[in-house]
Structure 1
Amino acid sequence: MINLTLNDAKELFTRPCEIARTNKSSNESLSYILINSDGYNLSAIGTNTIDTCKKSIQHISEPFVLCVDADHLLTVLENFNKAKLNISMEQLSESKVKIKIGKSTAQIACIDEAIYPTPVIPDESLNAFSFSGEQFIKELASVMYAKASNNTAIYLNHVGFSISQGVCSLKAANGHRLVTSEFEVPIQTNIRGIFPTGLCNQLIKLSPKGVIQFFYNQSQFYCKFDNTLLGSNFVSAEFPDVSNAIATEATCSVTVETRSLHESVSRFKAFVKSSKIPKLTLAFANGVLTLKTRSSDTNELDEELELNGWQGEATQEVNVSPSYLLDAINNINSENTSIAFTKSNCIKLNAIDSNQDAIVMAMR
């Protein structure tokens, strides 16, 4: 039997249950979570065909193993809010577990733990590295928007990373935009690979503040922090070096207030929302940056932005997606933004006071 406070039960079971809830395979046992006690520690594992989450707490009890229906267990937990309530869990038969919370009692399905596909976790010393979670999650969240979702170029569906000389660089792209963010880490060795999307989504949702330890083998990528272990299928492809694939040398650049730029592009996005192919034109000439668009033959919008500075005298005009441009602006954490017109006919946005940039490809 398990006896816990409701607060501890939610901390232990919620995320593993959420992972198991997303099971879309024909293996019904993946819709359950595995609860295990060695007498001193209590753990819960939830997995599907891609992602894994294991949570653990110190808990003295008789050793036991239970495999419980994740959806119904989570439903029960979600509908009680008094943290001081106690919860008990007892196996009644081979197919049923009794859960008691306060004066409420539920009976939930369970299965034989022998048929549960317990994940094989790789050696924590393999390809191991670690750094601060708070900074990493901030930088990861700032690039995730730019990745693809179901691209045949597999690496585009995930986040590329490289660590060299104490700097970690994160990259995300979908073929029409490329976002890069860099931050310092206490690692001097060179490492290059891909953070799987499933692992990234879990990390952003849980947002750990302390040190995160990463380790991986040829098929799985895991991380560990506090009382949590997260894993995801590893993408064996490397994120290619795109530093020379796009000519990012600027013919001219301007500096604008980020807030003003955001307000302006938001107006343009709303103005062309009914267009089949929304398009925003950025034009620079004689020290003036103009934004313009047309939603039909009779509906047009033009706007000049006040500049805080500019470089270069070239005349340049680029058509971009207003949605892609606004996505990039939304993730710039800086009072001012540099907009560069590149030789490859792209727009490159730089946050003035951080190592963050976004490239938005031109539309035809």
Structure 2
Amino acid sequence: MAAIAYEDIARAPKALLHDHLDGGLRPQTIIELADGIGHPLPSTDAGELGRWFVAAAASGSLERYLETFDHTVAVMQTAEALRRVAAECALDLAADGVVYAEVRFAPEQHLERGLSLDEVVEAVLAGFADGVAEAARAGRPIRIGTLLTAMRHAARSQEIAELAVRHRDTGVVGFDIAGAEAGFPPTRHLDAFEYLQRENFHFTIHAGEAFGLPSIWQAIQWCGADRLGHGVRIVDDIAAAEPDGRPALGRLAAYVRDKRIPLELCPSSNVQTGAATSIAEHPIGLLRDLRFRVTVNTDNRLMSGTSMTREMALLVEAFDYGWTELQWFTINAMKSAFIPFDERLAIIDDIIKPGYAVLRS
């Protein structure tokens, strides 16, 4: 079978569950916003700045990777800047063929210039609405749900959880915790997760990226996560092939697969942070073969110099995937979205399946 062309992958309808707003800014936007507030940057040339972000993020260390956000967060401290960044995010995703996206951000990181938490959320939601409307006018319809993230090293998770529920009817569809995993277990935020469960609200947890199985186990069995942000280290609970040729799943891995807990895998990002050595050796191949609920995501498009089209193209090259696999990843993501079932089904039946049928013809 001939490899699928990049331009054809670009045309495919895509669903994205794990994308950070502050990790996807346009370099030119960063330059313009930084100039307005006097924030120094490594470069004021858009091309050079974009390359700097990718190189700085490719250190193999999650902690170093997270340092690149100092520049993006610095320019996202006013309602106008947040609205612009969110609108451009929607437009960029739509231009890449994404028909459904959940984009996350941490409101507590955008308070330095006097905004309240609610004002931060309202600005981002307004920006997404702007971008969605403009994309629709351009013939690129996209739906965006927003996830509010609490930082796992801080102590505001209950407050952010209540903020998310407060805005659940205006575009916020879920909650998340993020940041360095080591030393900051998800159980520190148990009150927030218990509150969200009482409110019948969805949440995902960054787990199993830089830290291993204990982080995944806590996220699921103590905190009740609906999905795993990354979750790539679940492979540590899968042993080498047995005599009959089948890998042996440990109890946690078997539980994750049996319960169809979605894995928000981010191949390029995982290679940058050292969670995987290369795309070809990324556990996504094994996890897909074992039929875990695998999804493909961008994580931070700026830092990884990537897009959903690029992530899929890399998998096609590494694993010889075809339209069947790409559609499977896409439907997995849509099944796992934090919007109502009938709305998920409509996107699958009315947009994703017909879109892939055209590409196969």
Please classify the TM superposition score into its range, dividing by the shorter chain length.
under 0.3
Structure showing the higher helix proportion among its residues? 2
TM-score when normalising by structure 2:
0.22
Which has the greater radius of gyration?
1
Greater relative CO, 1 or 2 (CA 8 Å, sep 6+): 2
Structure showing the higher strand proportion among its residues? 1
TM-score when normalising by structure 1:
0.22
